[in-house]
Amino acid sequence: MEGFNLKFVFCLLAIIFLIYFAKHSQAEAKVDGFTTDFISRDSPRSPFYNPSETKYQRLQKAFRRSILRGNHFRAIRASPNDIQSNVISGGGSYLMNISLGTPPVSMLGIADTGSDLIWRQCLPCDDCYKQVEPLFDPKKSKTYKTLGCNNDFCQDLGQQGSCGDDNTCTSSYSYGDQSYTRRDLSSETFTIGSTEGDPASFPGLAFGCGHSNGGTFNEKDSGLIGLGGGPLSLVMQLSSKVGGQFSYCLVPLSSDSTASSKINFGKSAVVSGSGTVSTPLIKGTPDTFYYLTLEGMSLGSEKVAFKGFSKNKSSPAAAEESNIIIDSGTTLTLLPRDFYTDMESALTKVIGGQTTTDPRGTFSLCYSGVKKLEIPTITAHFIGADVQLPPLNTFVQAQEDLVCFSMIPSSNLAIFGNLSQMNFLVGYDLKNNKVSFKPTDCTKQ
């Protein structure tokens, strides 16, 4: 009888083990979809939040970051082989909470659609900038592995990669602000916490383990989560598991709701249904950026045709594909100067009233007396997709009694920023090469 009981116990334990193993193996092999928080860097949930600042001071910092980010993107486009498309200190507007290693170690990193490589500071650190979060210790993880120079991920680094004496793949970058970083290219298990169901785990993802970093990095910068289109980004590494799809819904800055923005992957990221419009995602150089084609914008019946950056006025610059980058990390929308001038002229005619100057010099078109303004809906005409932008997406209250057009002129780079994307479910389908927009109340997502 006693032997029977022991056999029964052993069989029961074996069944429990097999169920557990099958469940967790399946979770790693295939993920239908998951959703997690996309935290604004200026939200009270962000380590960057400064409660002593007013909302207008935080906005002004976001506006300045847009200009710095535009300059950074221009440098990458001008010399893609010399500058890796990593976040500049203070860049990026949203944060994601992921975990690295086994057992998992939490990391609240800057989520950036304008960068590729995932990285964080690691031990041992020969020369690291001070950071609030503890450094990641690879020795405490059962799944950490440095990658050799012949590894495919190392080949994806191109000229940015180098080979150490011990055949370890490394990447080193220097920035115009004298910041620098050296990282070992490594692989690790990533766990992404989900707001729906259990967290999803992904073994063998490549990331940069930084051992020498310095310059103007912020002590609250513990790392970066690249969501760009290059092969080393989180999105591209997860592509086969989540069907090459991700989406986000950005809560408006003006919202009094405590709701957080959300980012979705896999089936949870599908954007469809009434009101959805889609436009082709165009391949460009570098492949980090997500390029769209903007044909023009309209205010009511008046359409303003897109004008590009060509110095030759007879050039068909307006018809060029991939003429604007869509980016969640840039607050403002940057437009070619001639096109912007035409838009501003059309707006002043429609709105009427007396314009005023921005005392900080960020914006070209501003009004005082906010309550009296009648701001029209602006329609952005992308190829195959007319995206209607209400005043919430095109004007921002920069000060107590000052509202400004949140698109600014640029000399050689156009960016569709996150103010223009708020209260839209924005979906990226990297297999079918399209971006979709669906008007959505993001506070209810």
Q: Which residues are catalytic?
A: 112, 327
Distance (Å, rounded) from C-alpha 282 to C-alpha 269? 20
**Closest listed residue to residue 217, CA positions, set 280, 246, 260, 174:** 174
Distance (Å, rounded) from C-alpha 156 to C-alpha 276? 35
The residues near 142 (Cβ < 8 Å, ≥ 6 apart) are: 101, 102
The DSSP line for 264-332 is EEEGGG---STT-EEEEPBP-SSTTS-EE-EEEEEETTEEEE---S-SSTTS-GGG-SS-EEE-TT-SS
Distance (Å, rounded) from C-alpha 28 to C-alpha 200? 7
Token pair 């980090």 is at which residue?
288
| Residue 20: CB atoms within 10 Å | 10
Token pair 């906010």 is at which residue?
370
Cα-Cα-Cα-Cα dihedral sign, residues 372, 335, 173, 102: positive
The number of angstroms, rounded, from the C-alpha of 299 to the middle of its chain's C-alpha atoms is: 29
Looking only at the bridges linking them, the beta strands covering 395-399 and 94-100 are unpaired
